[in-house]
Amino acid sequence: MRKPFIAANWKMHKNVQESVDFVKAIKDKLPDPQKVEVGIAPQSIALHSMKQAAGKSGLKIIAQNCAAEYSGPYTGEISLRGLRDSGIDYAMLGHIERRRLFNENNKAVNKKVLAAVQMGVTPIICTDEEMVQKEINGEIHYVFSQLMSVLHGISMDQIKNVVISYEPTWAVGAGQHANPTMAEEGCRQIRRTIADVYTYEIADKIRILYGGSVNPANIKKIMGKPDVDGVLIGRASLDVDSFLQMVQHF
Ligand code: PEP
């Protein structure tokens, strides 16, 4: 049984005080963390304060990025050591805005994924759609080439500690209607890719989220799809009422 995961991506919105106030406003109204995982990815300056404000509420605080290094001479980067010390469990990696605006490529994302897994920070790997035909064990399969590249070197054991987010470019920040059928199709194909590369047993356990124009009106339909284990929400997660409407569905 895969535990549903509702994650908010706040991008570069909200300062530290606004982020902490938000946590205080929602933390006693969250669903049972045994049944649903809820997380927020603020900008890095708010990570520590939000983690402290979240206390024992079960709310997960997520980094929006991290360096591929534990610590060291990497000016301007966010260290895995810093994240670990602050009790941050997750790092979102390879978001489409990082790729588009900061030229992050598959190789860079792959290095971060490997480092995060080794340091015990669970990556939420964002992938947009890039399906290609590939020969695997003598058979032709459709797979997500981008996903395969960023998972390069991730072992059977390590893949179990990875979350994947399917964020088609047509839906992220686009103001378009999210399409539950297409969300399911993308997540299903990703699960197939994992099954092809790893095993069906592993694919069955991995959580795959959908991201792109999710809001209070469509979240239930999207999360009702069998291969969609959760959502990554941008704009609609910034307002307390809208956020609570979405998480309290579950
Ligand atoms: C995102 O940027 O990860 C995202 C899903 O944004 P939105 O919900 O605003 O489309």
Radius of gyration of the chain (CA): 17
pLDDT digits (tens, 9 = 90+) for 121-135: 999 999 986 666 666
Instruction: Summarize the confidence of residues 1-29 as an average pLDDT.
Output: 97
Is residue 129 flagged as an active site residue? no
Q: Is the CB of 92 under 6 A from ligand 1?
A: no
Residue 177 phi, psi dihedral angles, 5° rounding: -75, 130
Ordered domains of the chain (ranges, CATH): 5-247 (3.20.20.70)
Our answer to whether residue 167 is catalytic in this structure is yes
The CB of 19 under 6 Å from ligand 1? The reply is no
Tell me the pLDDT band of 145, cut-offs 50, 70 and 90.
confident
The Cα 120–Cα 154 span in angstroms is: 13
Mean pLDDT is lowest, of 16-25, 51-60, 104-113, 126-135, for: 126-135
5 contacts: CB under 8 Å, gap ≥ 6: 36, 37, 38, 39, 163, 207, 209, 229, 230, 231
With a 6 A CB cut-off, is 214 part of the ligand 1 pocket?
Answer: yes
Instruction: Report residue 158 as tokens.
Output: 């390590």
- The atom number, within ligand 1, closest to the CA of 95 reads 3
User: What is each CA distance from 70 to 48, 79, 162, in whole angstroms?
Assistant: 17, 6, 18
Task: Report the predicted TM-score, pTM, of the whole model to 2 decimal places.
Answer: 0.93
Residue 9 Cβ inside 6 Å of ligand 1? The answer reads: yes
- Among 6, 9, 98, say which to mutate for ligand 1: greatest number of ligand atoms within 8 Å of CB: 9
Give the pLDDT confidence score for residue 133 in this predicted structure. Answer: 65
Q: Which range among 44-48, 136-140, 193-197 shows the weakest confidence by mean pLDDT?
A: 136-140
Q: What's the pLDDT at 140?
A: 67
